[in-house]
Amino acid sequence: MEGGVEELSEVMPRVLIVSRRTVRKNKFVNFVGEYHLDLILSYGAVPVIVPRVTGVSSLLDSFEPFHGVLLCEGEDVDPTLYMDASELPALTPEELEEIKAAHSSDTSIDKDKDSIELQLARRCLERNIPYMGICRGSQVLNVACGGTLYQDVERELGRKSGVTVQHMDYANYDGHRHPVTIVKDTPLHDWFADSLHDDMQINVNSYHHQGVKRLSARFRPMAHAPDGLVEGFYDPDVYKPAEGKFIVGLQFHPERMQHEESTNPNPVFDYPGCPRAYQEFVKAVVAYKKKIEKTTTRAPWIEKQRKELVYSFSLAKNLYEEQRKGHSVHNGNSALLALQMTSSKSQQELNVGAHFLKANSPLNKQQVNRLHQMGATVRGSKVFQHALEINRKKESAARKWLEDMSREEVHELHEFYKMMVDVSQKVLDEKPNS
């Protein structure tokens, strides 16, 4: 029996889930809600628990390979990770103390858990690994992309909207419900289509007092509470489960929307759409595993170089887009500023892509004609021909490298090149002639 389990773990895709720490009998223990684990297993993936232990954040490479990440409930995300220093404090010190007293089990900050989960979220975003965030996991996803959070939804958003919504009920943890309105033509709309009426509403379970304040520019809302809070969002550019694409955040808990008589392995949910989030997530995880397995036949050094380059281009693209969308700066200086603000490690990773661009830039027809015009005559033809031969070899090597990539990866690289051409032209236009 044990051998069979080992074989399954090797064949089935792996989903990382970070545990939460609590105190039991005066000792720290780690735990993960079994509803999540049951659903992941039931749809064909293996949940792998990442323990919330000091030092794990520097050992995440040890959990490779993984094919999806599910982040769920936990303490508040550290406000210093998302608060804008230019904004005035939304809450007074007295209000913050009242919030801590009212939500003592959630307002304690766990920097180790924040570090582990933000790193995993960013890896998923950079490599298009399927990611699903439930409750805190959706907040981590938004923060990882430059979004912000309300420190206390009922005080901040309720004060602004004039609408009070009870987002948590300590006395009725699983039974609490509040309405949300689902946005048409989104994954949530698809999952709950059979249960929706003209008002596009369902009643959901939630247990939180933080929530999305400014949604990252890359995401699209999928549902709102009556006070306007975003209750679900996704990346429309990374949502094709059958192709291994899934980046979704849900503030509510579909896994807990079960009837009291519900039993494993046949739970009875409030709506047929509740388990669809997990079903579609695992579908993406399975497809992602199949996709990356196609690359394992390449020589190890080629695959390593490919991953480094794709990561480098993705990092540069995300930095540029976040600066451009988040701050409405539409010139090349925004990209340069973003690159200058990155860590030394990120600079090294960005340099990988920069060196590739520099080393693999074959001459185009216009450049060849320009060289002729500038004096590439018969007298200098040997030098000119030698330069062309070198560039032909570079072009051939680049073509071979690109042919080993998927169509999606080539498209992303092509879009990145176009963006870099635009940025460099704007920077050149702004530079004084020397």
Is residue 208 annotated as a catalytic residue, yes or no? no
Residues 388 and 390: their CA atoms lie apart, in Å, by 5
Model confidence band, residue 2 (pLDDT cutoffs 50, 70, 90): very low
In this predicted model, which residue has the larger pLDDT, 172 or 351?
172
pLDDT for residue 132: 97
User: Residue 116: helix, strand or coil by DSSP?
Assistant: helix
**258-283 pLDDT per residue, tens:** 887 767 777 899 999 999 999 999 99
Reported pTM: 0.68
Angstrom distance (rounded) from CA 153 to CA 178: 14
Highest-confidence segment of 66-70, 328-332, 387-391: 66-70
**Quick one: average pLDDT of 40-60?**
90
Q: What is the pLDDT of residue 257?
A: 93
Name which of 136, 149, 154, 32 is nearest 74 in CA terms.
136
Asked whether 215 and 233 are in contact (CB, 8 A), the reply is yes
**Helix (H) / strand (E) containing 280:** helix 276-293
Checking if the pLDDT of 57 tops 90, the result is: no
The long-range contacts involving 326-329, CB below 8 angstroms and separated by at least 24 positions, are 326/146, 326/217
DSSP annotation of 147 reads -
Token pair listed for 78: 């550290």
145 as an active site residue: the answer is: no
Confidence of residue 325 (pLDDT cuts 50, 70, 90): low
Q: Which of 135, 156, 167, 280 is catalytic?
A: 135
Told to judge if 261 belongs to the known catalytic residues of this protein, a careful annotator would answer no
Task: Collect all residues with Cβ–Cβ distance below 8 Å to 205 and sequence separation of at least 6.
Answer: 174, 175, 176, 177, 252, 253, 254, 256, 257
2-293: CATH superfamily: Class I glutamine amidotransferase (GATase) domain (3.40.50.880)
* Domain extent listing, the chain: 2-293, 300-430
Output the average pLDDT for the chain: 79
Please name the residues in contact with 399: beta carbons below 8 A apart, sequence gap of 6 or more.
Answer: none
Contact indicator for 129, 68 with CB cutoff of 8 Å: yes
Which is higher by pLDDT, 30 or 210? 210
Task: Tell me: pLDDT of 430 over 90.
Answer: no
pLDDT at 386: 64
Q: What is the pLDDT at residue 260? A: 75
Residue with tokens 């060849």: 368
Which pLDDT tens digit goes with each residue over 368-384? 555 455 444 444 455 55
Task: Report pLDDT for 106.
Answer: 67
| Mean pLDDT for the stretch of residues 309-334 | 56
In the three-class reduction of DSSP (H, G, I as helix; E, B as strand; rest coil), residue 292 is classed as helix
Q: Is a pLDDT exceeding 80 seen at residue 175?
A: yes
Side chain identity at residue 254, one-letter code: P
State the average pLDDT over residues 182-209: 94
Of these residues, 208, 253, 349, 409, which one is catalytic? 253
Residue 2 CA to residue 201 CA, distance in Å, equals: 46
- The pair of three-digit structure tokens given for residue 236, joined into one six-digit string: 């429309």
List the catalytic residue out of 255, 280, 409, 412.
Answer: 255
